[in-house]
Copies of this chain bind each other. A is one copy, B any other.
Amino acid sequence: MAHMNRYTAKKDFPVSQVRRFLEPGPIVLVSSKWKGRTNIMTMGWHTVMEFTPSLVGCVISSGNHSHHIIRGSGECVINLPTATLTDTVVKIGNTSGAEIDKFREFNLTPDKGELVGAPLIRECHACFECRLYDDALVDKYDFFIFEVVKAHAAATPKYPETLHYTGDGVFMLSGKTISRKGLFRPGML
């Protein structure tokens, strides 16, 4: 049963609202494909940059195999893992796609994207198909600006238990949610 529940079917999600998942700062898995080979990396250095177009900025070190795949292909998928994938997230971050096939090694399922060639990771809660939008700061800071061109997310749970990295091998797990909607001016929501 546990194995059968490794994933939930996803639905289309509005690209302008990916901040719902990314702004809280979770660790994500970035999947990519170039010249027939796929890869996955663990990434914690990212920020939402704009609603429309839906822009996300990420630091992907040139020491990572993924850097070259993503720069070459101009595409990737940002996948949101939940706490059930914690050990996999760590292991993906501690291995190189130059040496192993991470989908096979970590028993993850590549699903076909609609708009990009990079594979979606089925076991993740949400998957954001991205195209490289601006590489102006890649040479200087390894900073890629992506446009999320298509988003997919499981409908439940509304607030999945995500992983947030603090360094030194320690993750913070997302906790409860609280609403302060009543304190917001309408235009600020």
Contacts and interface: CB of A to CB of B under 8 A. Distances in A.
Interface of A: 17, 19-21, 23-26, 44-50, 55, 57-59, 86-87, 90-91, 93-94, 134, 136-137, 140-141, 143, 145, 159, 161, 164-185, 188-189
B178 A175 contact: no
How many chain copies does the complex carry?
2
Nearest to A24: B164
A177 B183 contact: no
A interface, over-half SS: mixed
A30 B178 CA distance: 22
A153 to B, nearest CB: 13
Contact of A174 (B19, B59, B143, B174): B174
A164 B86 contact: no
Contacts of A165: 23-24
Contacts of A49: 45, 59, 141, 143
Nearest to A176: B173
B181 A170 contact: yes
